[in-house]
Structure 1
Amino acid sequence: MSCLPDIGQWQPQLPKEVLLLPPTRTTTVLLAAGLVTLLGVPGAAAAEPAPSALYVNRAAANCTDGGPGSQAVPFCSISKAAKVVEPGQTVWVDAAVWHYKESVTIDRSGEPGKPITFDIIPGEPDPDTGEVSDTYATDGLTISGASHVVVRGLTTDDGIRVHGSTDVALDGIGNGWGQIHGLVVGGGSEDVRVTRSRLHSARVEGGSRNTLFGRNTFFAQNRLEAAEVVDAPGTVLTNNTVYSGCKEGIGVSGGSTGSKVFNNLIYPADYCSNFEPFRSIGVSESAAAGTAADYNLITGGLGQNSPVRTPYQWAGTGYRTPAEFTAATGQGAHDIVVASRDGVGAHETGSPTVDSGDPTAPGVLPTDIHGGPTADDPRVPNTGRDGGWIDRGAEETQDRLSMVWSYVSQNNWAPVGTAVGVNISTDSNWQSTLTYHVDFGDGTAPVVSKKNFVEHVYSSPGVYNVKTKVVTAVGREVAGSTRTTKVTAPGVLTADFTATPVLPTTIDTGNRLAPMTVRIDTPGATVAPWRVGSQKVDFGDGTTSSRKGLEKVDHAYKTPGTYKVTVSLTDVQGATSTATKTVQVDYAPSGYVATEPLRVLDTRTTNTPIKGGSAHPVAVVGWGVPDYGLSRSVSAVVLNVTVTDATEDTHLTVWPSGQSRPATSNVNIARGGTSSNTVTVPVGADGKIQAQLNAGKAALIVDVVGYYQPNVGERFSPLAPTRVLDTRTSGGALSAAKTRTVKVAGVNGIPADAKAVALNLTGTGATQPAHVIAYPDPAKRPATSNLNVEPGKDKSNQAIVPVGPNGTITLFTNSGSTHLVLDAVGYYGKDGKALFTPVVPKRLADTRTTGKVAPGATTTVSGLPADALGAVLNVTATDTTAPGFLTAYASGATLPGASSLNTLPGTTVPNHVTTPVGAGGKVSIFNSHGGPNHVITDLLGYFTAK
């Protein structure tokens, strides 16, 4: 319920809404005079500071009736405020408290021009209906022996009483069903004004004088008058909507002479028996002197043919039609009586209430029960007095304008000097009464028009905000959304564009941004005097994009490379232009995010082994993959790939989906054996990788253990291989079902706050075939493995392991016992030095074409970027004649005392190797004391400072 104007302080000037009535001098003078006389407007008091307001809020934790009643420390009860309020002071009642459980009596008085006022602070609107709850004074409201009082917005469960009081304004009030009469004005009260309220019947009695009921709704109980006036001269009932019971809708009796009944809409009850009295307006013989009634509308409840059902009872005589009533009494000459309620409501099309009342009637208010102004509905003729357009009843038909749509429909992108047109539409039913205002945003005065299409010519180039609003005939404004128009310098269409990578900025668990996505930005580079009507982009990879206007376009390339991109434009004037550029596409440098191992494939569970010669797609990110926090916008994933149950000696190649199979390998497997390797591989544009056996069949298990993504994760610092653990010299072999905790952070040059460590994990002296797991949290061992060991074989694999509690990791083996050797080759953390750039697996070197590497000899691998600080390689030893090991390290650096790969005679052994890079982008690989080896080196990615 909104706060309404202070009726108790209305001044005698004519409200602006009334100026919309026909500008006849008679109408204006009568309306102004009626307001002054009937509302009892007090004289203006000398200006002086108003006393501070009082506040009531029962819900406030610190409310107290013993406090100051300030906004900071409010009263708990309305009654307390009523006992201390002073002239000119307002009591604000917080309506967020729906129910004040008290009876309120107001017996203090204001002064002329300085009333005491009770008003509400509205609560929050209901989110579904938009309505605000009433505020209740539960046991009723009484105003007794008071004067100059204003009450707004309060609603009572029970009755409202005004007794022996003067100059009282009740506005926007209401009452419940609990009393015989919801409102009683009595005890000789004078100048009581009840407006814009919803009441369950009302009675004026006891010699009360000059009471006004204006723009109210009355709901009568079965055997009561809706509005009963007894011994109350000068009572005025104007523009009320009355729902009658089985007695009079409006009854005037006793000494209530000089009363006025105008512009009311009365709905008689249609459920009463044929023998009950039925009168919409009843005036007794004792009250008829000086009493007048006209411009009322009576509808419904008249369908039964009982002689006692008469709309009028005047001075003891009933009248069935307005014609009979007027002929006998001179009253009701402009009344309307219709049998059906249908179509009579204020906002119903063709309602006889609309624009048919008397704007000069006593007590006419300028606003209706909702606060809406008097308005002229252009759809109907003005049949009111002197051509006036006030409606009958409590509601005034309004233009329900609520929405304004606007758009630049003509030349919204054009050179200086071209007329720009704006089209405006609304949901108004009163289109002819609207005025359209358009501010074109260039400092010129807004254009005001009665037409909904407005033109303007700009004098200088720029992008301008065009703002529109629509004003109704009564001054109500509704704004449209702001639109933009682009004004350009005259010239020739010249296509141009920029091409930039589109990179994720956060860990993305929603929509996936594919790696190698490039944004082709034509709007930022093209010179286009006129709006571009069509745009075509040829991305140079066999795909194109077409748009109706000039737009930025994102495109995900499948393969790194150099592409010829062509943009072709056509503007709305038919001019064309083309631009072509060479665009370099590659994976972006990325940080590393360690994750809990996530199994994305195990063909053993579906009994669908992969087959040699056929690529097998593996979804690693995107929809359909349980992400467990795994970002969908990765550039590369780190996998633990295991091949088992091979039907013959073979090898596995892993590469990004959507690209050609490279001539590299990741896992080598002997017939019937189990082999695993860590694999770092870019992710295809579809969120998948491909895996293919060279020959035979085998089961494939793929676990994601981490990923790289631009703008997130940790940087990497490579280390010369550094021994962290050797159980042969410390602690003894790791036994089955036992765990071993190893300190990895805060030692060996690895900071204590490192997030993950890259380790080369070697198993030797195994007593049984088994697997080894390296993991961070000793309480959460994953169901994945990092290394598969066999008796009589030294086997190694690289693992990137998140750091657990106190800078440790935990080791576990499932069977037998084995010695373990751990060599740290780098770490990830906030002080890391480098970002990782993944590459499509690429062969850097193969000694099978140059000769074996002899024991004690070193082969140098080149082809890395000159600024690379580290590299991720897949190093494979083959055609080995004796057990030994290989060590990868930065070319030119000191040979470390650790291994990267253990060689076995007659066995091809690969391993994922992370190593520092020396000057000129070179890595050295040293062959130990074993036999000569062929060494194959494949590049998976590299680390750089930027």
Structure 2
Amino acid sequence: MRPARMTVLLAAGLATLLGLPAGSAAADPPNYLYVNNTANSGCSDTGTGTQDVPYCSISAAAKVVQPGQTVRIAPGLSYNEAVTINRSGDPGKPITFSVETREGAPGWMDLNRPLAISGASHLVLRGWGTKKGVKVSRSDDVLLERLSGGDTEGSLVVGDRSTDVRVIRSGLSQARIEGGSQRTVLSRNLFGFGAVSGPAITVVDAPGTVVTNNTVIGECGPIVSVAGGSTGSALFNNVLESVVVSGCRAPKEPQGGISVSQTAAEDTRADYNLITGTPGRTMIPYNWSGTGYPTLAEYQAATGQGAHDIVTPSRDGVGLIEGSPTIDSADATAPGALPTDRYGQPAEDDARVPNTGRDGGYLDRGAYEFGDVLSALEPMELDQTWAPAGTQVTVKAATNSRWPTALVYTVDFGDGTAPVTTRQGAADRMTAAHVYTSPCECVVKVTAVNGIGTRVSASRPTRVGPAGPLTAAFTATPVLLPSDAPAADIAPFTFSVDPSTTAAPWQVSGVDVDFGDGASQHIDDLHPVRHTYRTSGDYEVGVTVTDVKGARSTSRRSVKVDYAPSGYVAVEPFRLLDTRTAHTQLRGGEPLAVQLPAGTAVPGHELSSGMTAAVLNVTVTDSTEEAHLTVWPAGQPRPASSNVNVVAGGTSANTVTVPVGTEGRVLAQLNSGSASLVMDFVGYYQPNAGEGFTPLTPTRLRDTRATGVPLAESIFFTVKVAGLAGIPADATAVALNLTSTGATSNSHIAVYPDPAHRAATSNLNPEPGKDKSNQVIVPVGPQGIVALHINTGSTHVILDAVGYYGKDGKALFTPTLPRRLADTRSTGKVAPGTATTVSGLPADAVGAVLNVTATDATAPTFLTAYGYGATRPEASSLNTRPGATVPNHVTTPVGEGGRVSIWNSHGGSTHVITDVLGYFTKR
């Protein structure tokens, strides 16, 4: 049979079944409603059934769906509800209920209670699992496709004068067509799951019923029964299997097939069916108009029906197997015939089998098509997966095709040359060879196509190396947290060493990487490896490559490991450590390791494990003697710098920006005595995250001395920061210098973003008779404000803005190990009205984070830090006191040549010590 003729016949059968006008244009895409009852779907039966907020139940959608709309039901789920559908579509605009993925691919679901279709028309249901069965009544133009119901309750009933109901490509236990229903079509279905007792298909008083291309399994008596006034029915291309199982109602009852009563025989036709049973059992395959016919010949002679039927007493050799009599033997023009089977497999012509179907057609009998199983191209092999240019590479491939017809193979070697096409028999192995002329990372793709257009492909990579000798090479780059996963676990100083730039003619057998810090790693090929260094520095990294031919090559070079430029992530301040609550003290000379939190270690504060530096407010209190505290990254030697200076019995605080050390820890150590230590977490810096920083010339935002109203415990105190002093309205955090003067008692001040949620942290510890300063980095709160609170007494406060963080921030921060830049104790004190110049910052730095300490002052004064060469601002960075050593965290612009000026305003002379904690460079 010519394929063109077969295609016409199959298309005609499909058009007859579905009622489609020939050449009709595609309808406009329908609107969709969605049903999804999973716990995380956010579903609601009171909504509108959108994709984001679907209905929880099918019933909710069934109550509101309109003509032309499709209800998409999420697959793979169970819906424990009885569903009744009684709404109708319009001609050409049916209502559709389809089980499918978000992308529209077909799926299945289970309905655990009955489904009823009552008084509906122009309706389509696809992909339903009907465990309790489906009943159609008083309905018209209903298509049920891909239904399933495998237990004894998964049956189909069409009745109560329903018309033009079509059930296709489904698997159900039984079907009953009754009650005056007309023109019901059953096509490409499997009936009789579990070998049901009695007829698997029963037609009673249902004229014009069509039963075509079904596989039907029955137990004992007739498998398909047509009775009552079911005249004008049609039974074609069915495979009817009679089985006997334990529990058969009448074990001695003869096996049967088709039964058509005398009242239903008028104008009823039956042909191209196959009836089979169990060997050794009596079989009466036909009962027509009240008479049983034990043989096909008697049946044909008496009724004129079944001219092309096949009757065999054994099920052996029947089905989806080689040589089955069902293959290429059906009537493609039969009423309700479909060109694809229950699983969508198209009709295929098995060239090994004569086409005995009507007019020489090759449609198969039953619900299934026995087609070419061509689905894989295996094995596919390359004799060389890595070889130098000029070497011949041979590819071999075979398929799992079972047709004897030849396949067309196309081989694309992936280097831009024209594909090679060859024709081989299905049982033969394809071989093709190619010589690559230049190095490449190529993919060889083989595609096989059989005679009906089924296509399968497989690919294998091959590496074509240079024709020269093995030459090792590598790149070493820092591994930064990706911007779309800022909480990933990548520690600072993590580097990727990638040897893939090695010129390797032959396959590499091993790579040895020496990271230069005593660590090494062996890998089998040229893939990148990661390594985390304990500290910054210059390391000599070596890579040695060995290939399968025994050649060896080594490459070495110096790699600079350092912190990466980072953005600032502001957080709600929270208390990280308070040794007083643990009834312990920090002892001089004994470093305390402090673990910086990551992930959800602190409830309500999800933090990254990839931070390069942390910003902390560090308070030392209850000191037994005059001492200083140093904070530095774990894994590093203790630097010759200090962060907090405290007198015996005193309390002192300072902001500290400290790089993150090994295992995400920092160390804190007193030089002598003992004291309690309090640490508040303020924020952190991280590559590819957070906001940039813009340094500002220090500008005064608030001085309560001007109003005469100090900060007091009973006063609600906020300061507007956003939109003032060069700080934009959308700034996320601000850097402020906070100074207290005229304190009435020992107390502490907290600066925080939201007045409604006072922080349990502190930033500055005022004392009577002392001017004290500390820098504060705080998120901007509602309406662009920050709030201040003092726990007891009162004090005047002075707030100077020194910079802000925001989306338009101009610079990123690079942490450094604490390092001393200048110490006037070796050059002489800074006199009043003069400035000392601090150099040693990178020439491209636009800002710096410094720890500035004043010591041995002869009289009270204040220091101001600003960019070298810039106009000196009227603001303070640090307040000194005679006989006291006073440090402060200072964020300042950097001037020409990487220099900062520190000016002594008035009063006495003082020594100034400057340590760098990091610097800002333009993005």
> TM (normalized to structure 1)?
0.72
Aligned partner of 2:886 among 905, 909, 913: 909
Residues 706 and 425 from structure 1, CA distance in 2 versus in 1: closer, same or farther, beyond 3 angstroms? farther
Shift of 1:778: 2.7
Equivalents in 1 of 2:567, 2:323: separation in Å?
A: 72
Aligned 1:435-474 pairs, distance under 5 A = 435=407, 437-441=410-414, 442-447=417-422, 449=424, 450=426, 454-461=431-438, 462-471=440-449
Determine the structure 1 residue equivalent to 2:324.
355
Q: Does 1:869 align with 2:846?
A: yes
- Identify the match of residue 470 of structure 2 among 476, 493, 497: 493
1:395 aligns with 2:383: no
Aligned to 1:617: 593
Aligned to 2:795: 818
Correspondence 1:546 to 2:522: yes
1:759 match: 736
The answer for the alignment partner of 2:159 in structure 1 is 179
Aligned partners of 1:879 and 1:934 also within 8 Å:
yes
Q: Indicate whether 1:700 and 2:700 are aligned.
A: no
Identity %: 47
- Structure 1 residues 367-376 or 631-640, which shifts more? 367-376
Partners in 2 of 1:261 and 1:217 — Cα distance?
Answer: 14
CA distance in 2, matches of 1:570, 1:764: 71
**Structure 1 residue 637: Cα displacement:** 2.1
Mapped partners of 2:159, 2:515: distance in 1? 81
- Out of 392, 408, 411, the residue aligned to residue 419 of structure 1 is 392
Determine which of 527, 537, 548 is the counterpart of 1:561: 537
Structure 1 residue 377: Cα displacement? 9.0
Alpha-carbon distance, 1:682 to partner? 1.5
How far residue 911 of structure 1 moved from its aligned partner, in angstroms, is 1.3
Q: Distance in 1 between matches of 2:187 and 2:898?
A: 93
Indicate yes or no: 2:642 matched with 1:665: yes
Aligned partners of 1:815 and 1:153: how far apart in 2? Answer: 73
Q: Using the alignment, how far apart are the partners of 2:694 and 2:186 within structure 1? A: 86
In structure 2, the residue corresponding to 1:663 is in which secondary structure?
A: coil
> 2:223: which partner in 1?
249
2:762 is matched with which residue?
Answer: 785
Shift of 1:840: 0.3
Deviation at 1:898, TM superposition (A): 3.7
* Secondary structure of the structure 1 residue equivalent to 2:420: coil
Post-superposition shift, 1:552?
Answer: 3.2
Q: Which residue number in structure 1 is paired with residue 629 of structure 2?
A: 652
C-alpha contact (below 8 Å) 1:734/1:812 kept by paired residues: yes
Query: Which position in structure 2 is the counterpart of 1:296?
Result: 274
Deviations, residues 185-222 of structure 1 (Å, cap 9, x unaligned): 9xxxxxxx99978883579999x9xx999856566997
Partner of 1:73: none
1:15 aligned to 2:10?
no
Q: Quote the residue 1:679 is aligned against.
A: 656
**Normalising by the residue count of structure 2, what TM-score does the alignment of the two structures yield?**
0.73
Q: Is 2:753 the partner of 1:776?
A: yes
CA distance in 2, matches of 1:891, 1:39: 90
1:101 pairs with one of 65, 69, 86: 86
Q: Is residue 229–residue 252 contact of structure 1 (8 Å, CA) maintained in 2?
A: yes
Question: Matches of 1:853 and 1:752 in 2, distance apart?
Answer: 39
Report the CA distance shift for 1:710/1:443 in structure 2 as closer, same or farther (over 3 A): same
Hey, what's the Cα distance between the residues in 2 that align with 1:154 and 1:561?
A: 64
Look up the match of 1:189.
Answer: none
Distance 1:383 1:650, change over 3 A: farther
Give me the whole-angstrom Cα distance separating, in 2, the residues matched to 1:213 and 1:507: 53
Q: How many residues of Structure 1 are paired with residues of Structure 2 in the alignment?
A: 835
Q: Do the aligned residues in 1 keep the contact of 2:203 with 2:230 (CA within 8 Å)?
A: no
Partner Cα separation in structure 2 for residue 292 and residue 796 of structure 1: 102
What residue in structure 2 maps to residue 888 of structure 1? 865
Q: Deviations over 1:474-514 (max 9, x none)?
A: 5433444x554443442222222333444446374431333
Give the CA deviation at 1:177.
1.0
Gaps of 5+ in 2: 35-66, 74-83, 129-133, 148-154
Q: 1:536 aligns with which of 512, 520, 523?
A: 512
Query: Is it true that 1:604 corresponds to 2:575 in the alignment?
Result: no
For 2:871 and 2:648, locate their aligned partners in 1 and report how far apart those are by CA, in whole Å.
39
Residues 42-441 of structure 1: matches in 2 within 5 Å?
96=71, 101=86, 123=98, 125=100, 130-131=107-108, 138-139=118-119, 157-158=135-136, 176-179=156-159, 200=175, 226=201, 240-244=214-218, 248-250=222-224, 264-267=239-242, 271-273=248-250, 279-281=256-258, 296-299=274-277, 310-311=284-285, 335-338=311-314, 346=319, 355-357=324-326, 359-360=328-329, 368-373=341-346, 393-398=366-371, 409-422=382-395, 435=407, 437-441=410-414
> Which stretch shifts more, 645-654 or 785-794?
645-654
Amino acid at match of 2:853: T
Residue deviations 1:808-855, cap 9 Å, x none? 433221101112233333444556554332210001233444455555
Question: Once the two structures are superposed, what CA deviation does each residue of 1:54-103 show, in whole Å capped at 9, x if it has no partner?
Answer: 78979899xxxxxxxxxxxxxxxxxxxxxxxxxxxxxx976649987379
CA offsets, 1:4-60, max 9 Å, x none? xxxxxxxxx7337979xxxxxxxxxxxx9xx79x98999xxxxx9967677897989
Q: CA deviation at 1:671?
A: 3.5
Change (3 A) 1:293 1:831: closer
- Please give the alpha-carbon distance, in whole angstroms, between the structure 2 residues aligned to 1:295 and 1:572: 65
> Do the aligned residues in 2 keep the contact of 1:377 with 1:430 (CA within 8 Å)?
no
Cα 1:544–1:395, aligned 2, differ >3 Å: closer, same or farther? same
CA contact (8 A) 1:139 1:157 kept: no
Deviation, 1:901, is: 2.2
2: CA distance between counterparts of 1:419 and 1:581? 36
Compared CA separation, residues 197 and 587, structure 1 to 2 (3 A): closer
Q: Which residue of structure 2 lines up, in the alignment, with residue 797 of structure 1?
A: 774
Query: What displacement does 1:653 show?
Result: 1.3
Q: Distance in 2 between matches of 1:618 and 1:830?
A: 31
Distance in 1 between residues matched to 2:143 and 2:867, nearest whole Å = 92
The answer (yes or no) to whether the contact 1:776–1:808 under 8 Å persists in 2 is: yes
Structure 1: any 5+ residue segments left out of the alignment? 1-12, 20-31, 43-47, 62-91, 107-116, 143-150, 163-167, 186-192
Please say if residues 98 and 127 of structure 2, whose CA atoms lie closer than 8 Å, have aligned partners that are also in contact.
Answer: no
- Paired AA for residue 600 in structure 1: L
* SS in structure 2 at match of 1:728: helix
- CA deviation string 1:656-679 (max 9, x = no partner): 233222121111233443221001
The Cα shift of 1:178 comes to: 4.0
Contact 1:847–1:935 (CA under 8 A) maintained in structure 2: yes
Cα distance 1:455–1:173, how it changes in 2: closer, same or farther (>3 A)? closer
Q: CA deviation at 1:628?
A: 3.0
Are the structure 2 counterparts of residues 814 and 919 from structure 1 closer, same or farther at C-alpha, using a change threshold of 3 Å?
Answer: same
Secondary structure at 2:876's aligned position in 1?
A: coil
Tell me the distance in 2 between the aligned counterparts of 1:216 and 1:421. Answer: 47
- 1:788 deviates by 0.6
The separation in 2 between residues aligned to 1:641 and 1:40, in whole angstroms, is: 81
User: Deviation digits for residues 749-805 of structure 1, max 9, x if unmatched?
Assistant: 555555443322222222211001223333332211110112232222111233445
Q: In the alignment, residue 372 of structure 1 is paired with which amino acid? A: Q
Whether the 8 Å contact between 1:354 and 1:377 is mirrored in structure 2 is: no
Q: Which moved more, 1:648-657 or 1:918-927?
A: 918-927
Find the counterpart in structure 2 of residue 581 from structure 1. 557
In structure 2, give the amino acid aligned to 1:595: V
Contact kept? 1:355, 1:384, Cα under 8 Å: no
